[in-house]
Chains A and B, each alone.
Chain A
Amino acid sequence: GAVVSQHPSRVICKSGTSVKIECRSLDFQATTMFWYRQFPKKSLMLMATSNEGSKATYEQGVEKDKFLINHASLTLSTLTVTSAHPEDSSFYICSAESGTALRLETQYFGPGTRLLVL
């Protein structure tokens, strides 16, 4: 099956610093990538959708200047948390898909990144 990787898997940073999270589709070209945020014991919350070569579409309430998303190629999307604060601590998960039609297992999920801001 399709594989999506995320790096790093875990990051601890100081308040005020920026953190970049990478999401890669390893064996397929991802036309669309999705970024989710998840708090402990809660559901996944879609933050934004990115398409290769175009600006990301952010969900309502998500600060685009805070969470910078770049989808530079068909296999790589990055999420940068700028000037991170403790409230940004969370589990960030990306997913990727290779087509636009509704299909089985359309979205393939990465293993997630745990961010802790001190």
Chain B
Amino acid sequence: AQKITQTQPGMFVQEKEAVTLDCTYDTSDPSYGLFWYKQPSSGEMIFLIYQGSYDQQNATEGRYSLNFQKARKSANLVISASQLGDSAMYFCAMRAINDYKLSFGAGTTVTVRA
């Protein structure tokens, strides 16, 4: 079974600054994928970024980058140059290659201040 831990219930960040959201995971599967989703108040789940367990480089998508440290089993999300529209709940998720389930962390609420 997979377990995802997000230890930050909520965070405040100043507009234009960077913020790091923590995510650690636990799995016995050697091959897996890590995902980050954004959920604004409207409720839709917006896919942000993906990291495969065998990927050599950290994933980046625009202002989003994933700091993947496989030995520490961590997959932190970095949002650079925060915008007011980044205020939302962020979920880290994982799926093993042999499992159909996507396991989610508890989420982190980010509030961007002007």
In the assembled complex, which residues on chain B have CB atoms less than 8 Å from the CB atom of A91? 43
Docked-complex contact A111 and B50, CB < 8 angstroms: no
Number of interface residues of B (CB under 8 A): 24
Among candidates A32, A100, A105, residue contacting B50 with C-beta atoms closer than 8 Å? A105
Docked-complex contact A112 and B43, CB < 8 angstroms: yes
Docked-complex contact B95 and A43, CB < 8 angstroms: no
In the assembled complex, which residues on chain A have CB atoms less than 8 Å from the CB atom of B101? 46, 49
In the assembled complex, which residues on chain B have CB atoms less than 8 Å from the CB atom of A41? 89, 107, 109
A44→B103 CA distance, assembly (Å): 9
B-facing residues in A76-118 (Cβ within 8 Å): 91, 93, 95, 100, 102, 104-107, 109, 111-112, 114
Chain B residue nearest to A46 (CB atoms) is B101
A-facing residues in B20-38 (Cβ within 8 Å): 31-33, 37
Chain A residue nearest to B42 (CB atoms) is A111
With A43-B105, A43-B107, A114-B43 known to touch, is A49 a contact of B100 (CB < 8 Å)? yes
Chain A interface size band reads: 20 to 34
Among candidates A34, A43, A93, A107, residue contacting B106 with C-beta atoms closer than 8 Å? A43
In the assembled complex, which residues on chain A have CB atoms less than 8 Å from the CB atom of B100? 32, 49, 100
In the assembled complex, which residues on chain B have CB atoms less than 8 Å from the CB atom of A102? 31-33, 52, 95-97
In the assembled complex, which residues on chain B have CB atoms less than 8 Å from the CB atom of A112? 43-45
Q: How far is the CB of A115 from chain B (nearest CB, A)?
A: 12
Docked-complex contact B47 and A93, CB < 8 angstroms: no
Residues of B within 8 A of A (CB): 31-33, 37, 42-45, 47, 50, 52, 89, 91, 95-97, 100-102, 104-107, 109
Residues of A within 8 A of B (CB): 32, 34, 38, 41-44, 46, 49, 91, 93, 95, 100, 102, 104-107, 109, 111-112, 114
Closest 4 pairs between A and B when the two form their complex, measured CB to CB: A109-B45, A112-B43, A111-B44, A102-B97
